[in-house]
Structure 1
């Protein structure tokens, strides 16, 4: 299959690209549909080469037309194809009708939905609804989608899992749970937002052989973060470099009983390449932190006055892991925010900021959905229902760069295009992962003056390390498991 593009689009943008190809580049619409069907069969053979009994389920529009083409081409390869139409074929129009007629002319048989139509399926191709769906499904369609999901066969969705909103990742009553989603012309925002990550499976891509540059006709709504984000910020080091040239990070956190959070953030900053890392923590935590990671400098602080000289010596601050929301945490946050140092803010520092909001262009906020809700004064569900808008709202209200954590972590900064991380895994939903991310971002920020770039690179490095650690299995993954993989991820020029 073709490599995924960086651009991520709304449904309207993809439709505009489609019209551009047809109206301006003079590519017949049925040619595009045929290309989509060919790509579907290529994906089928690539992902499930031994499967021979395929059920193709077609809906009423051009997505269904793609399915008819795929079914016809699969039959020509001597694959056993059952085609199920969820609408009366007599109601098909345009290219979908032509695709249906070509399928029948080639000897294909169209069957209506029945309770046992999926009984022998080895693979199901979902060609029910495309990107234009914007209404709740009726009860009968919801029941059919549940039956498809429950049939036990892997599902290949064409363009988008049917029932999923292409822009928000909302589910219109029910949506296909695809093992693979083959996206045409452009990637859709809904793959990465809302419930999208639960439904798309592995995303594949085909540009339908559009001419080079054709997809640049319409600006995207977001960009995926790729490894160039790391390589550009963290080139191979000069042989004569020393630790003083790699930046100094001050991690502020670790209140009573919370030494682990600050310690993990500190080690993560070291693993990300920061030259010097100091942890300012509650005095009783110093011994345990230095004993477990002697490369960290650690200072006990009981009040803000003790913190001031350490802030002065640091290049980047990271505050929040294990900070607490009591008087001690508030005092340390206040003095940190009085400085003009670039600052990564997480965890309890975000909760304190939500209580007394202010704005700053030199910080990176890293909320999870619950913290994001507190920053905006809304519920977690409201954040999750429109993650991109929530990240934009936080950036508009508080300034700086916002990292909205979760499946499909978002990085939003000012008027720049938002970035989406499509790496990472469910095993990373475990204690301390946010503390590690804070340290990684701070460690990278200490090595560059580009704060938004450091946020993007840090998010990607954290996700990549999580995926490497999860090769042994996602369940039971610990935040500290990432430490062994972070150096690999922050040295892309040295990987083989």
Structure 2
């Protein structure tokens, strides 16, 4: 298998790549199908060397055709293969029909039963391909549920059946795969939303198509691997001083919420900001200074007192622990907007924004799906149904750069999109969003553009979370993540 490329495509774009390979570059479709099936078979044989009984589930179309190739190669290698076909064999045509005919010359298809799934050493899912755009029902749903209930390892061909290759959303039900080899172009739905729980390890092979096939088709999104961080976080000049790395200001921490600004402020400092100020309620000043004396913490009980701090700051974060007090939180939000500084907007500041929408070109918004839903005036389910559409709509409506948090965080300015891999379920705890706000703020203070600070910040945040989780995901705290930041921002 090849190294994972950064380019991610929609299913329609991958079909265009297939078409270009076949019709423009002269690679016959049956050759591509054989290459895909052989590649998947070799992966299965290497990943599960002791497997002797293999269940292959085939649907129609090219996905089923790949499955027929796998079944034939496994049988020719001497394995016991149970081939189950959930489509009309007689109706199969073209390359898939030829692959089915060749498989059936050495195998007799069997009717699927849950017992076959339970008895298999490994299961091959070639039921539904990348074109799925509606919920799985009927016999296909029954088979998928039985496969999941069997608990045996599954290799999904191209995409787990039932998972949208376009959005990463489970459509009714979906196969939970241990590994997913995918071909020609990486499908963007394999890297966000529900995919983390269904795709398993994603591997890639371009099937040897000519490089020219990819010209003229702009990827729908890009991965952002951790190895790319060094491009944005170079070694500092030896003569550097704190004034060269910006003055970041965090505003928030209403009564009872002082921890949020402390986390954001410390994350900003640990990400490399030269100076970090925190504006919060007076009662939070002493605890914040005791915990992190490097921060400059000021009590702001009257919103009009924020003006001198805003004047000194080069970049501002508003929202962590800001609360919903109109006389304090909303007025501070208004003051931050009026200051004309680059902004990072999170938490309750996003809720104030949803109530009084405005657009700006120079800010970074960092909503979770619930906040995104309020900003778009829709349900959280609607946001999660198509995270790519949601993040694009947010960027178009509010301007700047949007970081839509979640499994497979998305970063978009309305024209381009980054998918942030990494992160873990341990990060589903209080304060993690405040830490992300601080990281983005700190990077913005050091001179990164809004786009760079958002994408790099999200990747740094995910990597720090993964390092912190080495001792276990359950019980992971935002402070544990912050403790890892210095190592991540010095790649």
Q: What TM-score range do you get, normalising by the shorter chain?
A: over 0.9
CA distance in 2, matches of 1:220, 1:50: 39
Relative to 1, partners in 2 of residues 1:31 and 1:350: Cα closer, same or farther, differing over 3 Å? same
Aligned to 2:165: 166
Aligned to 1:252: 251
Q: Does the 8 A contact of 1:445 with 1:454 survive in 2?
A: yes
Secondary structure, counterpart of 2:8 in structure 1: strand
Aligned to 1:143: 142
Relative to 1, partners in 2 of residues 1:450 and 1:46: Cα closer, same or farther, differing over 3 Å? farther
Q: Does the 8 A contact of 2:193 with 2:406 survive in 1?
A: no
Equivalent residue pairs, number: 490
- Greater mean deviation of Cα atoms: 258-267 or 133-142: 133-142
Aligned to 1:271: 270
Deviation for aligned residue 1:449 = 4.0
Relative to 1, partners in 2 of residues 1:56 and 1:192: Cα closer, same or farther, differing over 3 Å? same
Secondary structure, counterpart of 2:360 in structure 1: coil
Q: Does the 8 A contact of 1:303 with 1:332 survive in 2?
A: no
Aligned to 1:401: 401
Aligned to 2:209: 210
Find out whether 1:337 has 2:337 as its counterpart: yes
Q: Does the 8 A contact of 2:225 with 2:421 survive in 1?
A: no
Secondary structure, counterpart of 2:172 in structure 1: coil
Deviation for aligned residue 1:46 = 3.9
Aligned to 1:464: 463
CA distance in 1, matches of 2:191, 2:448: 29
Aligned to 2:32: 32
Q: Does the 8 A contact of 1:364 with 1:400 survive in 2?
A: yes
Secondary structure, counterpart of 1:156 in structure 2: strand
Aligned to 2:323: 324
Q: Does the 8 A contact of 1:3 with 1:205 survive in 2?
A: yes
- Greater mean deviation of Cα atoms: 223-232 or 434-443: 223-232
Unaligned runs of 5+ in 1: none
Task: Give the TM-score normalised by the residue count of structure 2.
Answer: 0.96
Relative to 1, partners in 2 of residues 1:47 and 1:241: Cα closer, same or farther, differing over 3 Å? farther
CA distance in 2, matches of 1:387, 1:135: 16
Find out whether 1:73 has 2:73 as its counterpart: yes
Q: Does the 8 A contact of 1:177 with 1:200 survive in 2?
A: yes
CA distance in 2, matches of 1:109, 1:280: 73
Aligned to 1:119: 118
Aligned to 1:153: 152
Q: Does the 8 A contact of 1:340 with 1:362 survive in 2?
A: no
Q: Does the 8 A contact of 1:250 with 1:314 survive in 2?
A: yes
Deviation for aligned residue 1:131 = 1.0
Q: Does the 8 A contact of 2:192 with 2:419 survive in 1?
A: no
Aligned to 2:281: 282
CA distance in 1, matches of 2:348, 2:487: 30
Q: Does the 8 A contact of 2:280 with 2:297 survive in 1?
A: yes
Secondary structure, counterpart of 2:204 in structure 1: strand
Q: Does the 8 A contact of 2:160 with 2:176 survive in 1?
A: yes
- The Cα offsets for residues 39-79 of structure 1, whole Å up to 9 and x where unpaired, read as 21232234333333321111122111111111222334443
Q: Does the 8 A contact of 2:169 with 2:384 survive in 1?
A: no
Secondary structure, counterpart of 1:372 in structure 2: helix
Q: Does the 8 A contact of 1:469 with 1:477 survive in 2?
A: yes
Aligned to 1:97: 97
CA distance in 1, matches of 2:56, 2:261: 53
Secondary structure, counterpart of 1:57 in structure 2: strand
Deviation for aligned residue 1:229 = 4.9
What's the Cα RMSD here? 1.7
CA distance in 2, matches of 1:275, 1:49: 54
- The Cα offsets for residues 334-381 of structure 1, whole Å up to 9 and x where unpaired, read as 111111211100001111111111111111110111111111222211
CA distance in 2, matches of 1:299, 1:264: 15
Deviation for aligned residue 1:413 = 0.8
- The Cα offsets for residues 113-140 of structure 1, whole Å up to 9 and x where unpaired, read as 1242113212111011111223333322
CA distance in 1, matches of 2:48, 2:300: 59
CA distance in 2, matches of 1:244, 1:46: 55
Relative to 1, partners in 2 of residues 1:332 and 1:153: Cα closer, same or farther, differing over 3 Å? same
Unaligned runs of 5+ in 2: none
Relative to 1, partners in 2 of residues 1:15 and 1:301: Cα closer, same or farther, differing over 3 Å? same
Deviation for aligned residue 1:228 = 5.7
- Greater mean deviation of Cα atoms: 141-150 or 81-90: 81-90
Q: Does the 8 A contact of 1:233 with 1:454 survive in 2?
A: no
Task: Give the TM-score normalised by the residue count of structure 1.
Answer: 0.95
Q: Does the 8 A contact of 1:410 with 1:421 survive in 2?
A: yes
Secondary structure, counterpart of 1:483 in structure 2: helix
Secondary structure, counterpart of 2:168 in structure 1: coil
Relative to 1, partners in 2 of residues 1:209 and 1:246: Cα closer, same or farther, differing over 3 Å? same
Deviation for aligned residue 1:193 = 4.3
- The Cα offsets for residues 217-261 of structure 1, whole Å up to 9 and x where unpaired, read as 421111112336532221111122122212211111111111111
Aligned to 1:236: 235
- Greater mean deviation of Cα atoms: 185-194 or 256-265: 185-194
Deviation for aligned residue 1:322 = 0.6
Secondary structure, counterpart of 2:50 in structure 1: coil
CA distance in 1, matches of 2:137, 2:285: 60
Q: Does the 8 A contact of 2:121 with 2:153 survive in 1?
A: yes
CA distance in 1, matches of 2:136, 2:232: 46
CA distance in 2, matches of 1:94, 1:47: 31
Secondary structure, counterpart of 2:142 in structure 1: helix
- The Cα offsets for residues 77-135 of structure 1, whole Å up to 9 and x where unpaired, read as 44333222223433322112221232244x33322212421132121110111112233
Secondary structure, counterpart of 1:277 in structure 2: strand
Instruction: Summarize the alignment of residues 340-359 of structure 1 with structure 2, pairs less than 5 Å apart.
Output: 340-359=340-359
CA distance in 1, matches of 2:176, 2:285: 48
Secondary structure, counterpart of 1:110 in structure 2: coil
Aligned to 1:362: 362
